[in-house]
Amino acid sequence: MLINVFRIKKNSNRYLHLCFIAIDCEVGEWGPWSQCSQSCGENAVQKRRRKILKKPRRGGMDCPVSRQKRRCVVPMCPKADVR
């Protein structure tokens, strides 16, 4: 919690205390994995993401990772017949 203190009037002994409550990031559930990016080869990947429901404010906790990527296991592409 962040607390700011302000003097109400100059040369006054009265103060106004304002409390700013930090708001942490909130994220949704992970979505499904996408299809593989290619049907053969070594660099096929799948991706998924989750929505940021609430952005952090006033010093709240940052958002965790919202995108993930993983390799797909797919067959090697056939070699082109070069003559």
Strand partners, 4: 18
Find the domain containing 45 and state its range. 2-71
How many domains would you assign to the chain?
1
Would 27 be classed as within a structural domain? yes
Would 9 be classed as within a structural domain? yes
| DSSP H/E element including 4 | strand 2-7
Would 36 be classed as within a structural domain? yes
| Phi, psi for 45 (deg, rounded to 5) | -135, 160
Whole-prediction pTM: 0.64
Confidence check: pLDDT of 9 > 80: no
**Which tens digits make up the pLDDT trace of 13-71?**
666 666 678 899 999 999 999 999 999 988 899 999 999 999 999 889 999 999 999 99
Give one word for 11, left, alpha or beta, with left for phi > 0 and alpha for psi -120 to 50: left
Confidence check: pLDDT of 74 > 90: yes
Distance in angstroms (rounded) separating the CA atoms of residues 33 and 40? 18
Confidence check: pLDDT of 8 > 80: no
CATH number of the domain bearing residue 45 = 2.20.100.10
Distance in angstroms (rounded) separating the CA atoms of residues 40 and 78? 8
